[in-house]
A and B are shown apart, each in its own frame.
Chain A
Amino acid sequence: MTDPAPSRPAPALAVEDVACRFGRVQALAGVSLTVRPGEVMALLGDSGCGKSTLLRVVAGLETPDSGTVRLDGRLVAGGGAVVPPEARGVGLMFQDYALFPHLTVRENIRFGLKGQPQAARASADELLEQVGLAGHAGSYPQTLSGGEQQRVALVRALAPGPRLLLLDEPFSNLDRRMRDRVREDTVALLRRTGTTALMVTHDPEEALAVATRIALMRRGRIVQVATGEALYRRPGSLFAARFLADAAEIPARIRDGRAATPLGDVPAPDLPEDAAVQVCLRPEALRVGPPGEGIAAQVARRTFLGAACILHLRLPGMEGSVRARLPDPGTYGPGDAVGVTLVPDAVLVLPDHDAG
């Protein structure tokens, strides 16, 4: 970022205890969330968890049943305030881009500039040039490729200079190869324009790649808000751990501050005695060595990933197989005997009550 986030008293967005119900569906059940200026926050969750509803509430497209929404400290929803979407000064990039098919790319981008000075148009054109679409200004959006449409949608949302940009699954309509590239470009543009952003996604990898902080949602509530790394390394719940990465889970009980597994005891000093826990073994939590080191295991299957590989290991005293990630293609193949030790920092011990 060229410009360090100024120390403002008010957060860019403050959502407080917002609830929203559609008929019998409780889409949001008391959500509180704060987005700091300059931050890119990801709302991560499964479909139907309420993340898109929260985005629409912030944009003013839905009215919450209770709770308040503040933008830069100004009350825009709840507490008697009903500020319509057009007066909120937020940008929204839609999942389907919602480009106006009857307007050219340039007209689309200038749509939000009504009543703004001439300079705004010039900078909108400049933005278009920056994303490499100046040559398409006169084209109609449906003649562009998916990636180009995505960039037009982004520029259109950014052109009026919103104080907060909302992105609804901005990359989900792109194929995988394109996605990484477009994602990087988008993040770069957000940084350069100093835009505060709130992005909805169901893809943890995407949230980790883009966001400065992630708010994990589940069933209309926010489960955990943390930086991507903290969320990944220290998930607050079994749900969060499962959402961020696949892991083999070994049920256990806490005895003397430790959880026993077939691979050895794991320290869990913060959990109460006799608590039911799941010990989560992500692929990076197992170190594989020659037989004799640690616990004896057998390679059942090997998945080659190019630079790395995954070994599916069969361990004595455990049903099914456990996956271990090797940082290199390795030399082990199916049927080989190996020795397995735990990487203590990467093992997660989490209370087994809120999984679902």
Chain B
Amino acid sequence: MTRGPASGRLVPPGPRPAHPATERLPAHAPSERATGAPGRAAAPPVRSRPAAGRSWASSNRGWTLAAGLVALLVLAPVASLAVEALQGSGGLWPHLLAHVLPPALRETALLLAGVGVLVVMVGTGAAWLVAAYEFPGRRLLDWALLLPLAVPTYIGAYAYLDLLHPVGPVQSAIRALLGYARPRDLILPDLRSLPGCILLLGFVLYPYVYLPTRALFLMQSATLVEAGRSLGAGPGAVFRRVALPLARPAIALGASLALLEALNDIGAAEFLGVRTLTVSIYDTWVNRSDLPGAAGLALVMLAACLGLIAVERRARRGRGYAGAAQRPRRMSRTRLAGPAALAALGLGLVPVALGFLAPAGYLAVEAGKRLHFAGLSGAILSESLNTLVYAGLATVIATVLGLLVAAGPRLLGGRWHGLLLRCATFGYAVPGAILAIGLLPPLAALDGLLDTVSRALAGASLTAMGLGTGAALVYAYVVRFLAVTAGSSEAGLARVPRSLGDAARVLGRGPTGALARVHLPLTWPALLGGALLVFVDCVKELPATLILRPLNVETLATHLYGEAARGTYEDGAVAALLIVAVGLLPVALLLRVSTPKA
């Protein structure tokens, strides 16, 4: 009781003089049936809700239908892949098995293994550094370590290729320092190699591990660490024997996301000359026009992705975050001073410098030069607009559909809606290149059908409505990133107590009314956050954009890819800088979301 009766508010209603309204109150009570009670019959029946009962069943069914349709849209490309790969010529699989798959699989496996080790080491180490130690600059490092998230892998590769080029600034500086005159006098290891690609991807993708692991370290109960210390374990042993095993689910989650990104990457691997599965798929389709072959490769890659997710689920099994999150008291940081503090700061700055400062700084300088020299080109403006339109459209659609599939299980219950939700969010496991290849056959068929119909009806040919207008691209974005909006909707809705929704229902709102009046007002920050993430992901997306964009339409990402592929460095830096700038938006958001409240 926070206010005593003395405050005067706790007045028992009994002794008060009866208000006229009090006498009217029973008049609310009558049902649709005439009650026959003289006092009550006079008042009009206040409660009349005839419509709700009729719409209940149909709205429920409509919802299920819509969610089912969304799930179908997501699964269609994957199904079409399977069909396409099976329809290929008889010689397809032997050819793939003999000549394409072995090198691609080997390269991909080595790349994934290398990137996996690197992101776990860098991500976990950085997370422990900022969670367990206090030193000057820690707060800065806390968020700065997230910055590489803003740099898509292909932009990192684009920047580093130029930075580390034999006549680029870094090698020139080294030569000048060591007194060599010509590039051929000092041969440094080439970035264009598998190890180079691993290093690059590792230092750009480690935030995927850093983010959840840091959050988990911060949530971790202080008592666990203190118990470890009191049982005689030093700080190092506590990290190894207590914090690390507890963080395993977060590390597994982060590593699997980073590896999915690495699998999804097409630009960096291609620029650096690593023939991964993704590159092989793109190459098979674009350069050899072999759709069944590309579909076959895509199926193999999809299997790899699903395998990765299965491993991640396994690693996370039985280890909830929740148990650790119960304790509000946080671990206190060990204070570092003098050389130790400096070393910590220096160590923490390495990933930031490699993953963000160097490429972004380079892009800023180059873009500045370009803008000074040539001004803002019309091409960049129109590409920005294209990017904005496609990404914006996809974001709006993905947000609406994500809410639709996520709200189903919450509002209506039933096993079906849970299953549909899982189907609809399957797209996050499907790399962009696979998705695009899977979308080609059904879209081509659809375009053909539309064309035929149009010719028959209007006599005019209607070419490439799906592939030609960018609708296909928006579709691919939505499928790929629906998991993000559905996930954030789900998380937001899960925080609304079930009784609130029930209360809205009992107070006369249907499922949709409850969603609009109660759930949406309470979850819009989560929805907005999800939408922002999707928007940025769409802006950054490269493989599907390359394959599905309408002819002669460029986005910022494809422009950059084109210049890097041609080896021309004109407006590329400007486009890249714009993408990185957009990518910075969610970093701030992620940091806020992932920092547990004290």
Contact = CB atoms under 8 A, between A and B. Distances in A.
Interface of A: 3, 6, 8, 10, 56, 59-61, 71-74, 82-92, 94-96, 98, 100-102, 111-112, 114-117, 119-120, 122-123, 126-127, 129-133, 135-136, 145-148, 156-158, 160-163, 174-175, 177-178, 181, 184-185, 188-189, 192-195
Nearest to A6: B37
Given A83-B56, A132-B13, A160-B28, 18 more contacts: A8-B37, A61-B506, A85-B505, A86-B49, A86-B508, A86-B513, A94-B499, A101-B522, A120-B46, A145-B1, A147-B1, A147-B3, A156-B503, A157-B506, A184-B12, A192-B22, A193-B25, A193-B26
Interface string B12-31: 11101001011011111111
A92 B52 contact: no
Nearest to B507: A112
11 contacts: A8-B35, A56-B502, A74-B31, A82-B56, A86-B509, A86-B510, A114-B509, A123-B25, A127-B25, A145-B3, A161-B28
A307 B2 CA distance: 29
A233 B65 CA distance: 57
Q: Which of B30, B36, B499, B518 has the most chain A CB atoms inside 10 A of its CB?
A: B499
Contacts, number: 187
Contacts of B39: 3
Contact of A89 (B13, B27, B49, B517): B49
Contacts of A6: 35-37, 40
Contacts of A87: 49-50, 52-53, 56, 508
Nearest to A196: B29
Closest 4 CB pairs of A and B: A161-B28, A112-B507, A126-B21, A98-B499
A71 B503 contact: no
B598 interface: no
A258 B16 CA distance: 55
B29 A194 contact: yes
Contacts of A188: 12-14
A106 to B, nearest CB: 14
B505 A61 contact: yes
Given A123-B28, A126-B19, A86 B505 contact: yes
B500 interface: yes
Contact of A120 (B16, B28, B36, B506): B28
Interface of B: 1-3, 5, 8-14, 16, 19, 21-22, 24-33, 35-37, 39-40, 44, 46-50, 52-53, 56-57, 497, 499-500, 502-510, 513, 517-518, 521-522
Nearest to B14: A188
Contacts of B46: 116-117, 119-120, 160-161
A117 B545 CA distance: 55
Contacts of B8: 132
Q: Which of A87, A91, A185, A192 has the most chain B CB atoms inside 10 A of its CB?
A: A87
A342 B50 CA distance: 61
Nearest to B37: A6
Q: Which of A6, A60, A161 has the most chain B CB atoms inside 10 A of its CB?
A: A161
A115 B29 contact: no
Nearest to A56: B502
A161 B521 CA distance: 26
A160 B1 contact: no
A111 B509 CA distance: 9
Contacts of A61: 502, 505-506
Contacts of A127: 21, 25
B546 to A, nearest CB: 44
Nearest to A125: B21
A89 B513 CA distance: 16
Given A8-B35, A74-B33, A135 B508 contact: no
B157 to A, nearest CB: 46
A91 B499 CA distance: 13
Contacts of A195: 29
Contacts of B50: 87
B13 A94 contact: no
A175 B1 CA distance: 7
A126 B22 contact: yes
Nearest to B518: A100
A60 to B, nearest CB: 7
Contact of A8 (B16, B28, B36, B47): B36
B518 to A, nearest CB: 6
Contacts of B30: 163
Contact of B29 (A56, A96, A135, A163): A163
B23 to A, nearest CB: 8
Contacts of A146: 1-2
A226 B448 CA distance: 75
Given A135-B9, A145-B3, A102 B521 contact: yes
Contacts of A132: 8-11, 13
A52 to B, nearest CB: 11
Given A84-B52, A89-B47, A100-B503, A148 B29 contact: no
Nearest to A120: B46
B506 A91 contact: yes
Contacts of A94: 499, 502-503
B33 to A, nearest CB: 6
Nearest to B502: A61
A91 B503 CA distance: 9
A115 B497 CA distance: 26
A181 B13 contact: no
B369 to A, nearest CB: 50
Nearest to B521: A102
A96 B36 contact: no
Contacts of B1: 145-147, 174-175, 177-178
B499 A84 contact: no
A130 B13 contact: yes
Nearest to A109: B507
Given A120-B46, A161-B47, A192 B56 contact: no
Nearest to B9: A132
A177 B500 CA distance: 28
Given A86-B52, A161-B25, A181 B506 contact: no
A111 B52 contact: no
Given A85-B506, A92-B503, A163-B31, A102 B522 contact: yes
A73 B29 contact: no
Contact of A72 (B31, B40, B502, B504): B31
B37 A189 contact: no
Contacts of A56: 502
